[in-house]
A and B are shown apart, each in its own frame.
Chain A
Amino acid sequence: AQSVTQLDSHVSVSEGTPVLLRCNYSSSYSPSLFWYVQHPNKGLQLLLKYTSAATLVKGINGFEAEFKKSETSFHLTKPSAHMSDAAEYFCVVRKGGGNKLTFGTGTQLKVEL
């Protein structure tokens, strides 16, 4: 079975400083990994995905993530936080090309002036 662990339930950064949201995964198979963002009372928006191609994945809004098999990690980063980045972020794993997505518990990102 696959799972993801988001190491921080809350992260607070100042506007203009780097963002790091941590995610570790566990999977018996070659996984597909995703990061989604959810703004209050809104659905989920895909930020980026890893599907066994390049290990450094670039997504929307300046976010990127690096797949590190040796560390079983898929941390999300952004060089400079913006106020609009404040939201809930979910790390998600999918086994191969299957349907089922397994969500992490989420990280609430707060961006302060």
Chain B
Amino acid sequence: GAVVSQHPSWVICKSGTSVKIECRSLDFQATTMFWYRQFPKQSLMLMATSNEGSKATYEQGVEKDKFLINHASLTLSTLTVTSAHPEDSSFYICSARDQESLGYEQYFGPGTRLTVT
């Protein structure tokens, strides 16, 4: 089956620093990837849609200059949290859409837990 990986699985960083999270589709190509944020005991909220070779589309209320997204290849998208602050601490999950799938399936990565101290 389709597998999506994320790296790192968890990261602790100091306030003011930047953190990069990678999302890879391991056995399929994905022109479109998605970044979600999940607060403890809450649901997933879509942050942005990442399109290979073009700019990401951000959801309302998500700061594009703070959450930089790059989708440089058909198997890799990155999310960089710039100048991180404690309120950015969260579980970040990516998903990738299998472009060969007629059902527009999205496959989810295992998530990255970010803690900003």
Question: Which chain A residues in 14-65 approach chain B with CB under 8 Å?
Answer: 32, 36, 41-46, 49, 51
- How far does the alpha carbon of A97 sit from the alpha carbon of B109 in the complex, in Å? 21
Give the contact-size bracket for chain A: 20 to 34
Asked whether any CB of chain A lies closer than 8 Å to the CB of B82, the reply is no
Interface centre among A46, A51, A90, A94 (most CB of B within 10 A): A46
User: Is B46 in contact with A101, judged by CB distance below 8 angstroms?
Assistant: yes
A2 within 8 A of partner (CB): no
Closest beta carbon of chain B to A54's beta carbon, Å: 14
Query: Are B46 and A105 neighbours in the complex by a CB distance under 8 Å?
Result: no
Is A101 a contact partner of B106 (Cβ separation < 8 A)?
yes
Q: In the complex, what residues of A have CB within 8 A of residue B108's CB?
A: 36, 43-45
B113 CB within 8 Å of chain A: yes
**How far is A91 from B1 in the complex, measured between Cα atoms in Å?**
21
Contact of B4 among A32, A43, A105 (CB under 8 A): A43
Which residues of chain A from 61 to 91 have a CB within 8 Å of any chain B CB? Answer: 90
A5, chain B: closest CB distance, angstroms: 11
Complex formed: what's the CA distance from A83 to B93 in Å? Answer: 26
Is B61 close to A, CB under 8 A?
no
Across-interface contacts of A41 in B (CB, < 8 A): 110-111, 113
Closest CB of chain B to A99's CB: distance in Å? 6
Name A's B-contacting residues (CB within 8 A). Answer: 32, 36, 41-46, 49, 51, 90, 94, 97-101, 103-106
> Closest 6 A-B residue pairs measured CB to CB?
A43-B110, A44-B108, A43-B108, A103-B43, A103-B44, A105-B43
